[in-house]
Structure 1
Amino acid sequence: MLRELLIGFGVVEILKPEPIIRLCERIGLRNPGAAERRPLALTGARLEGLVFVWVLVHGRQGSTLVSALLGVAGLTLVLVPRPIIELSQHLVYADTDRLEVQPWVVPAARLLGVLYLTVTLLSRRTGTEPTDEDRNDADRCSRCRRLCSG
């Protein structure tokens, strides 16, 4: 169920990134109305949503590199969030000197890192390796085919 919820979030972020960005600005900035967003901010949010959906739907088979990059980003956010916060501010906002960051931005960034790691871990469970039940079904089918043909 968590996987479906995160896929849904990713789809919303792809289709309607503006409300999500505004929410994050209200959480992270004391002066969200004064922030001047760069034009690519919406594209960045859509890309994040696309990565979530891609990794969760395709699992390890279709996205090893993307999943690894998301995991590294998540681990970095958990361990040393400040450089990532500063980098993302410079990518998203044209006027970073005017931003008044809330004191809980670092813990929020760490939680975002945990979210990235969660998506990465969930993607590992969606691999196409057959389960024991799949193998048993395949064995039954092949036995049935041999009986019917012979």
Structure 2
Amino acid sequence: MLRALLAAFGLVELLFPDKLVAVMTRLAYEDGGEMTAKPWVVTAARVEGAVFLLVALFGLRGRCGRCGGDDGEAGEDE
């Protein structure tokens, strides 16, 4: 469930960073409609969205095998 939410937010942030920054600014500040973000903020939001999406899709795969519920150590296959 958490991975799905992270992937959805990352996809929205990756595809529509300017709209998301505008919405978050209006939510965070009382005069959010009058504020303008610096040009690098949209790029940073897009990069953050890509990172969220990659973590949601691939980032937790390596850890899932190690945190399984068995009592064995992580290198017993050898």
Segments ≥4 residues shifted beyond 2 Å: none
- Cα RMSD (Å) of the superposition? 2.4
1:86 and 1:124 map into 2 onto residues whose CA distance is: 33
TM-score, structure 1 length as denominator? Answer: 0.40
Q: Deviations over 1:61-88 (max 9, x none)?
A: xxxx111111111111111212211221
Deviations 1:13-47 (A, max 9, x none): xxxxxxxxxxxxxxxxxxxxxxxxxxxxxxxxxxx
Structure having the higher Rg = 1
* Structure 1, unpaired ranges of 5+: 1-64, 138-150
5+ long unaligned stretches in structure 2 = none
Which structure would you say has the larger RCO, counting Cα contacts within 8 Å and 6 or more residues apart? Answer: 2
1:103 correspondence with 2:39: yes
TM-score by length of 2: 0.68
Change (3 A) 1:124 1:87: farther
Look up the match of 1:124: 61
Number of residues of Structure 1 aligned to a counterpart in Structure 2: 71
| Structure with greater helix share of residues | 1
Identical columns (%): 30
Shift of 1:114: 1.7
Pick aligned residue for 1:87 from 18, 23, 35 = 23
CA distance 1:118–1:103, change in 2 (3 Å): same
